[in-house]
Structure 1
Amino acid sequence: MLYKHPYVILRREIDQIDLQQKYIEEEHFIYLYEDRIETAEQKFDLKIVFDMSYKMLSASYGFFYLHTTKGVSTFQIKDEPDELIIQFRKVEIK
């Protein structure tokens, strides 16, 4: 593994007792390897990844975009992924 960057998945649940809506935040990681990128849900061969970008919407949250030949995958992030992108540039397949 070359680098890992955290992302979060927010789940919305309804408490069955008081019927209140609550959000549960789960932390996961985007793992960069020399030949692939892995998340909790998917694996991407570096051959299909052609770019990465992000946009912070506030001081607390933003979105990380993984651009692939099969479309764009979006991940909610709390921290800027600059180092992940730098490390990706070193191993990306052009």
Structure 2
Amino acid sequence: MNSIAALSYYKVERNISGLEQTIHKQDRWIYLYQEKVVTAHREFLIQEVFDISYRSMGGDGGMLYLHTLQGVYSYTITEDPQSFLEAYKALVHE
């Protein structure tokens, strides 16, 4: 099954052991399909997604918010999500 749109996001994990803190940045993807939205660890049926919104955080990137039946999930992104948002809006208004 081919995705309609894809958008990269990242997750930052901080680990503290003893006196040392390590930071790991994991690059991940969110995919929009005809029937669902899929992230690295979650999958939502398209009818369970109420909206997808974006808020710029100044400089590069911002937060993408996935408003779902299970709650609101946030994803940190660095690229412009406009084409992803337009693809979602076109899909739900078919």
The TM-score with structure 1 as length reference comes to 0.87
Letter of the structure 2 residue corresponding to residue 12 of structure 1 = R
Instruction: Say which SS state the counterpart of residue 60 (structure 1) adopts.
Output: coil
Superimposed CA distance per residue, residues 45-91 of structure 1 (whole angstroms, 9 cap, x where no aligned partner)? 00111111111212234111001122111111111211101000111
Q: Give, in whole Å, the separation in 2 of the partners of 1:15 and 1:70.
A: 34
**Are the structure 2 counterparts of residues 61 and 24 from structure 1 closer, same or farther at C-alpha, using a change threshold of 3 Å?**
farther
* 1:93, distance to aligned residue in structure 2 (A): 6.3
Deviations 1:6-40 (A, max 9, x none): 00000002366xx3323211000000000100000
Other-structure match for 1:89:
89
Of 12, 19, 27 in structure 2, the residue corresponding to residue 10 of structure 1 is: 12
Contact 1:50 1:92 (C-alpha < 8 Å) held by counterparts: no
Aligned length: 92
Moved more, 51-60 or 7-16: 7-16
Structure 1 pair 42–93 and aligned structure 2 pair: CA distance change class (3 A): farther
- Please give the residue correspondences for 1:1-94 in structure 2 after superposition, counting only pairs within 5 Å: 1-14=3-16, 19-92=19-92
Q: Match for 1:31: what amino acid?
A: Y
Letter in 2 for 1:7: Y
Q: Name the CA distance, whole Å, in 2 between partners of 1:42 and 1:11.
A: 18
Gaps of 5+ in 1: none
- Counting aligned pairs with the same residue, the percent is 28
Query: How many Å separate the matches in 2 of 1:60 and 1:22?
Result: 23
Q: Distance in 2 between matches of 1:93 and 1:66?
A: 17
